Structure 1
Amino acid sequence: MTGFVSNAAAARSVAATAVAVVAILAAQNASLAQTGGTCIPVAERKTENGCFVHAEVRLERLPRAPIFWHIDRFPSRSAAEAAKEKNGTVVQIFGHVWLFTIADESWRSSGGEHVASVGPLELPAARELMATYMEGNFMPGMQSTVHRHPGTEAWFVLSGAQCLETPRGTQIGRPGAPPVIVAPGDPMLLTGIGSEQGRWLVSNAFEI
């Protein structure tokens, strides 16, 4: 009889589907599971998805004014290097050359395309600070472990969406929305949400 599936066949089909779904979710989360949900140096990258550190730099003395993370995009590394000033760092992420600069709100680069000023950042009161710049590349459903950082962490979402949960509440990051910023020491859980690949730029400034 055509169009008929036995109960046993249906059960096998459901079981196979369940196994396939579990395998897909495991693959999506593999890059984070390898490192316990933490970011790894981009040179050690073995998969597309996850969190990858592109640069770590010491910051020179900052002004007392509110501090922001300035994001500028350039057509070439040489152009970005020529425009780099104090506390500026040039990185290449997602096929673009970026100049990241930690400075007061009014600071502007002498060239390139100004993409965003993220802040104000709640920086530790310290004589010496380090800035780490990262790439977040999450499929929907990918999730970090619950973790915390000694410094302020900020995300600028280029595509997709994220949900950041802390004891202070939940923040949703997506293109065009206010940036997601977490204060030093707050425990956090980051999840990729929505239906699109999540790609975001990340900064973390902390005491050394």
Structure 2
Amino acid sequence: MRTQLICLTVLAMGLSPSLAAGQATTRQCGPVEGVGPACLLARKQMPQLPDGKVYWHIDRFPSKELAERAGLPTSTVVEAFKSTWLFTLAGAGWKSASGEHVSKIGPLPITPATDYTAEYLRSIFTPGTTAPLHVHSGPEAFYAVTGDTCLETPGGMQTGRGPGNSLIIRAGPPMLLMAIGKVTRQGFALILHDSGQSPTTLIQTWRPAGLCARQLSADQAGAD
């Protein structure tokens, strides 16, 4: 029944049924990493964030134990894509004492709150896969290990190309995330929100202009 409702929602938004596979979800990630919906890698509640501008730091480690020793109270350790990752919310100048620094994303457009929760998602999308239309109560940041990213909102379109690309969106606007290009997109997302609010709300009140879909078509038509 749930699958039928999702497909009906996707059709009502003018998207093809194949796009329903990228549905947003809070289901826990399992050990098998296959193409399909986003899943929840980790959730961390924090009574406060660092002072000043906050960035999402991504570091890679050879083991979970080493990553845990290198973290801060605002750090989270996850295992995905055959690697161990340390996700840390900190100022621009923070650096892990060890590990491989992979990316610094930000500053994050944080919404004031008395208590914050960071939700980290993992997803594997083939080109053309998208999540349903939704909004967030806090900023969302995306990082792609592989593949290309397209994010459409009422304000236009953002794209990221190649391994390591990242995008950020503030709280509030409706959005459509799509994997574009010709390579499967493996990625992470961070939703940093007020702990007293739901992180994600599905919507049907906005219809995308098809900017990401047109970019996908152009990519597919382009030369290898």
TM range (shorter): 0.7 to 0.9
Aligned residues: 180
Identify the match of residue 182 of structure 1 among 159, 169, 173: 169
Q: CA deviation at 1:48?
A: 3.2
The CA distance in 2 between the partners of 1:200 and 1:46, in whole Å, is: 12
Structure-2 residue corresponding to 1:142: 129
> Secondary structure in 1 aligned to 2:97?
coil
The one-letter amino acid paired with 1:166 is T
Structure 1 gap ranges (5+): 1-24
Q: Secondary structure at the match of 1:31?
A: helix
**Equivalents in 2 of 1:39, 1:75: separation in Å?**
27
Is residue 93 from structure 1 mapped to residue 80 from structure 2 by the alignment?
yes
What is the letter of the counterpart of residue 126 of structure 1?
A: A
Equivalent residue for 1:59, pick from 35, 46, 53 = 46
Task: Note the 1:148-167 alignment, pairs <5 A.
Answer: 148-167=135-154
Q: How do 1:1-20 residues align onto structure 2 when only pairs under 5 Å count?
A: none
Cross-structure match for 2:101: 114
Q: Deviations over 1:146-185 (max 9, x none)?
A: 1011011000111111210012221102236762101001
Amino acid across the alignment from 2:170: A
Which residue of 129, 132, 147 maps to 2:119? 132
The structure 1 residue matched to 2:21, chosen from 31, 43, 48, is 31
Please give the root-mean-square deviation of Cα atoms over the aligned residues, in Å: 2.1
TM-score where L is the length of structure 2: 0.74
Query: What TM-score does the superposition give when structure 1 sets the normalisation length?
Result: 0.79
Change (3 A) 1:63 1:53: same
Q: CA deviation at 1:188?
A: 0.2
Structure 1 residue 195 and structure 2 residue 185: aligned? no
Aligned partners of 1:193 and 1:123: how far apart in 2?
A: 28
Q: Which sections of structure 2, spanning at least 5 residues, go unmatched?
A: 1-15, 196-224
Q: Is the 8 A contact 2:33 2:81 kept in 1?
A: no
Tell me by how many angstroms 1:195 deviates. Answer: 0.8
